[in-house]
Amino acid sequence: MLNIGRALGNDGLIKAMTGVSASEFNELTKSFEEESQNEAQNRYEIGVKMGLMTKLC
C-alpha cells in the first residue's frame, strides 16, 4: 500500500500518479479546498433562505 505522506514528499511519484508535479498538485488541492468551502457556505445560505435550517435547542 502507498503511504500518502511519502508520496506527497516525492515529486516523481506524485507526477507518475497524477500527471502533475507536487507543487502543482498542492496548488490544485488548495483550489479544491476553497471551492468546497464556498459550496458548503452556499448550500447553507440557500437552506437558511428556504427555511430548511431550524434552530437546534
| Mean pLDDT along residues 35-47 | 84
**pLDDT tens, residue by residue, 13-25:** 989 988 999 889 8
Q: Where are the domains of the chain?
A: 22-52
Distance CA 23, CA 9 (A): 10
CB 8 within 8 A of CB 22: yes
Distance CA 51, CA 17 (A): 44
Distance CA 38, CA 46 (A): 12
How big is the chain, counted in residues?
Answer: 57
pTM above 0.75, yes or no: no
pLDDT of 57 over the 50 cut: no
Report residue 39 as a C-alpha cell: 459550496
